Structure 1
Amino acid sequence: MSGPSHQNSAPVWNHSRLSRREALQAGAVGILGLGMNHLAGLREAQGAADAVPNGKAKKLIFIFLSGGLAQHESFDMKPEAPEDVRGEFKPIATKTPGLQICEHLPQLAQRSEMWSLCRSLTHGSNEHSAGHHIMLTGHSELPTGFSPNSPSRRDRASIAAITGYAMRQRQKNNLPTAVVLPERLVHNSGRVIPGQHAGEMGPQHDPWMIEASPFHNTSYGAFPEYAFDHQERGKKDNRVFQAPQLSLPEGLGMRSVRGRLDLLKSMNRQRRALGHHAQVENFDRLRQGAVSLLTESTVHDALDVTHADEKDLDRYGRNSFGWSLLMARKLVGAGVTLVQVNLGNDETWDTHGNAFPHLKNNLLPPTDKAVSALLDDLQASGELDETMIVMAGEFGRTPRITLLEKHYKLPGRDHWGPLQSVFFAGGGIQGGNVVGKSDAIGAYPIERPVKPENFAATLYSALGIPATAAWYDVADRPHQIYHGEPIAELF
């Protein structure tokens, strides 16, 4: 089913013209027939349109550091600044002449020819929920009626949702196009952080959520090896990292009609049983994806990372950061287009206090190890050039160090929207490159300021999504995907 004619000659992504009942019927036909002709019809019923032109990147791994990575303690150190700005850590040289990063990122320093930095991303919010919405959606302005306390269908669509929607035509299998793991971002009070789902696009476009990491309201970081509590409250962390294991009951016949009906009933039972593991309210749209998750051995292997090859576990790290990035690598290898990896639950990187020991001992080492292993794997397999990796948080940290004596024994930095450093690799990124420059104390950009809209456009452009692309809502109103220019200097 082709969409209506529009003025632009570039491809346009349309919303479904079928009724919900017809779309569900199409899904039912697809799961009972399990034929590619039915799958094609189902995808058209969901609003896929003309094919996406080939981009340099075919896959995207979006590493999100909830809480806000301190630029001074990572990729934009200020060794010449006053003591209350420069902090305790020392810079080290990378393989790129003139480029220095934090001493606690030694493995990434040895791989600088594979990655680049933007040191000048800026936006106007110092609040966690607003910052999450801004960076996860690529929109500097908050929507009307935005609530920091709960997600809403008035929210903007996340980058993961937009990418999954736009790239569906390129997907050559029945797997979900966009996946988020290993946990949704939840505040320690229990409220879900906005910006993680498809927002105004509707729940049928939400990314798949693979919840492998149970919620813990005081423990953060790469558990079990590097778990910590920002305020050292002493609440024990007994979490186990375990992705949902989807399996077929013994003796289920896939070749018979009855077997397929039994499969549908079985999946509905598993949907109820696994409700606490994954976000599945859009199950009707994703029935074919569920079949693939159940039957693809590569997917089972991707999810069962805690029992992966011993050498892989040693390289990535036997902790939630290492397991999560190993899972992401396996999922893109199996055919998933976008994987968003939340390295730590909400505010893991929120280093208001005890910042230097927590970064040195609990946060930077497992990140350095796991991201380096991911780069090595993709380069060795020849996939780095077509797999983009980005790493960012909702904001940076204040230039000056402070001590909040009521909550912390040692100092740290507060929220800072005006500046953060963003890491880019693969997918056509020119390695060893730095875009933008901050001032002498790492507070504001002084060269090439970059907005979240530019950040999102860079990802879309690398994936080959046309600059004129749009999605259409149920009232046939177009919504542009791009709201800024890509960061051209990265390529």
Structure 2
Amino acid sequence: MNLLPSSRRRFLQAGGIGALNLAIPGLVVGKDKLDASGKAVASKKRCIFLLLCGGPSQIDTWDLKPDAPSEIRGPYKPIRTKVPGMHLSELHPMLAKVTDHFCLIRSMTHPGPISNHFDAMHNLLSGQLIERVKQGEPDGLPYLGSVVAKHLPSEDNLVSNAWIIKCVGQPVFCAPNIGSGGYLGSAHAPVFIGSADNHPAMPNFKPPEIYDMGDPARLWERRKLLAEMESKFLADSPLGQDWNDLREKAYDSMTRAEGREAFDLTKEPVAVRERYGMHPLGQNLLLARRMVEAGVRFITVNGWVGAAPDEKGGGPPSSSWDMHGGNMGMGNAFGTGSYGMNFCLPRLDQALSALLTDLKQRGLLDDTLVVAVGEFGRTPIILTKGPPGRQHWPKCFSAIVAGCGIHGGAVYGESDKTASAPISDPVTVQDLHATVLHAMGVPLNDLGMNTGLSRPPFSTGKPVLGLFS
């Protein structure tokens, strides 16, 4: 007996587990891997990808140029860190104490024509220039989290690929396939968590509905109903055991407490929550740590820091780091508004340093890759018309990478005297992708991604092996 797709859907819905319809984003229940003895094992590799939407200024954060003219160097002074010779902005005193946990890349660059957030975000997340989209493949390109979820589906959680607070404002910031699994299918698309009106720093934060079992008694009755239907219609089918296994995995994933409890941040000590910061970025990164502990494989965290106090409508969850200054009506890029570094950088400093410290103390950093990067950098020259700021600059920017064998306490690559271009060891976004996949043990050149179609490799880059210990 062969089941048609519609029949399969009815069976799942009858059992109360319609979420296992693989057309639903991010819901991929992993298959056990076996070691040489036949014992089931699971890869522990996870990734927290902190996306600083809008593009932070490299020259005001992680690649200061104190000897440059004032119109280039900006107002911030460099401070010493735990690593000799590595200097950060004075607004990063906490990160300065944990530099031994991460590697700082100062030679990130976009190859090819990049002109705006849309193009840069697409290239950063897909490893392909936007020209591929313009040539008729708008729905074909998966993003990094989908590729990881395809090869390393979670063994412990209903979700393999998550995105904490989806960016808004399409098409200015949001690349075309942010909510899509591309040619890998919607099963590998991210599950979006939270919003500007529903985030973990709020007292009544609500988790995604997929973790809601509803009435446990009713779920159990539907489970029995599905088992009876299977015994009647699938007893003689070779698919019967497969469906039984799939059903059991579904119930296990839905009823396992840690999947739902990851969203209950009240279980965290107050001191831990305050260490991350009681603001959207801090609590989102704390949630990401709890989610990797619960088995989620890849988590993109929007680097939105929230709106500045008493500033209505400022800092929507897509563009905290789009610091143009007065010519875009965003105020002083070096001020305390929602688009001001004096507001945003201390929050980033607090949250990211807390995450790295927490992962290290919990023994999770060896198996959890952390990446912090924007879609591009900012111009060396500060705008002088109106409140100061900087324009887009794809030729040179910085990134922080840590965990999964990354060598901490190091600087990789170097920019020129104005942070305008790399002068040694350039790292393209494609190289960054390849490095992430390499660190997590994902094949780099799986042409069709098991789709049966002939496709180019996801990333044309090469792993930056010099980042690893």
TM-score of the two chains, using structure 1 as the length reference = 0.74
* d(CA) in 2 for partners of 1:351, 1:369: 20
* d(CA) in 2 for partners of 1:325, 1:379: 14
Work out whether 1:98 is the aligned partner of 2:88. no
Q: CA 1:90/1:292 → structure 2, altered by over 3 Å: closer, same or farther?
A: farther
Would you say the 8 A contact 1:430–1:490 is kept in 2? Answer: yes
Would you say the 8 A contact 1:137–1:158 is kept in 2? Answer: yes
AA in 1 matched with 2:263: L
* d(CA) in 2 for partners of 1:436, 1:24: 56
- What is the Cα deviation at residue 252 of structure 1? 1.7
AA in 1 matched with 2:121: H
SS in 2 for 1:394: coil
| Residue of structure 1 equivalent to 2:106 | 119
* d(CA) in 1 for partners of 2:175, 2:289: 25
| Residue of structure 2 equivalent to 1:187 | 169
1:87 pairs with 52, 60, 74, which one? 74
Q: CA 1:305/1:467 → structure 2, altered by over 3 Å: closer, same or farther?
A: same
2:396 pairs with 410, 419, 433, which one? 419
Would you say the 8 A contact 2:158–2:254 is kept in 1? Answer: no
Within-5 A mapping of 1:174-323: 174-181=157-164, 183-187=165-169, 192-196=174-178, 197-214=180-197, 242-244=206-208, 246-250=211-215, 252-257=217-222, 294-305=254-265, 308-323=268-283
Q: CA 1:51/1:145 → structure 2, altered by over 3 Å: closer, same or farther?
A: farther
Identity of aligned residues (%): 32
- What is the Cα deviation at residue 257 of structure 1? 4.4
Would you say the 8 A contact 1:438–1:444 is kept in 2? Answer: yes
- What is the Cα deviation at residue 180 of structure 1? 0.7
AA in 2 matched with 1:133: H
| Residue of structure 2 equivalent to 1:328 | 288
Q: CA 1:312/1:72 → structure 2, altered by over 3 Å: closer, same or farther?
A: same
| Residue of structure 2 equivalent to 1:139 | 128
Q: CA 1:346/1:255 → structure 2, altered by over 3 Å: closer, same or farther?
A: closer
Within-5 A mapping of 1:318-397: 318-344=278-304, 345-353=317-325, 354-358=332-336, 359-397=340-378
* d(CA) in 2 for partners of 1:191, 1:89: 27
- What is the Cα deviation at residue 189 of structure 1? 8.1
Work out whether 1:400 is the aligned partner of 2:375. no
AA in 2 matched with 1:187: G
Would you say the 8 A contact 2:91–2:342 is kept in 1? Answer: no
Work out whether 1:165 is the aligned partner of 2:150. yes
Aligned length: 413
AA in 2 matched with 1:429: I
Would you say the 8 A contact 2:54–2:318 is kept in 1? Answer: yes
SS in 1 for 2:448: strand
* d(CA) in 1 for partners of 2:466, 2:123: 23
* d(CA) in 2 for partners of 1:490, 1:52: 30
Work out whether 1:153 is the aligned partner of 2:139. yes
- What is the Cα deviation at residue 106 of structure 1? 0.7
* d(CA) in 2 for partners of 1:350, 1:313: 27
Would you say the 8 A contact 1:63–1:341 is kept in 2? Answer: yes
Would you say the 8 A contact 1:175–1:292 is kept in 2? Answer: no
AA in 2 matched with 1:385: D
Q: What whole-Å deviation, never above 9, does each CA across 1:22-61 have from its counterpart, x for those lacking one?
A: 4972894698499xxx99xxxxxx8989969999971110
| Residue of structure 1 equivalent to 2:239 | none
TM-score of the two chains, using structure 2 as the length reference = 0.78
* d(CA) in 2 for partners of 1:258, 1:57: 30
| Residue of structure 1 equivalent to 2:119 | 130
SS in 1 for 2:388: coil
Q: CA 1:26/1:462 → structure 2, altered by over 3 Å: closer, same or farther?
A: farther
Q: What whole-Å deviation, never above 9, does each CA across 1:330-352 have from its counterpart, x for those lacking one?
A: 00001111111011122210000
- What is the Cα deviation at residue 397 of structure 1? 0.3
- What is the Cα deviation at residue 381 of structure 1? 1.2
* d(CA) in 1 for partners of 2:34, 2:134: 34
* d(CA) in 2 for partners of 1:209, 1:356: 31
**What residue ranges of structure 1 are gaps of 5+ in the alignment?**
1-18, 40-45, 216-221, 225-237, 263-285
Q: What whole-Å deviation, never above 9, does each CA across 1:135-181 have from its counterpart, x for those lacking one?
A: 1122245314279xxx9414x2110111111112xx32242111111
RMSD: 3.8
* d(CA) in 2 for partners of 1:368, 1:129: 26
| Residue of structure 2 equivalent to 1:469 | 446
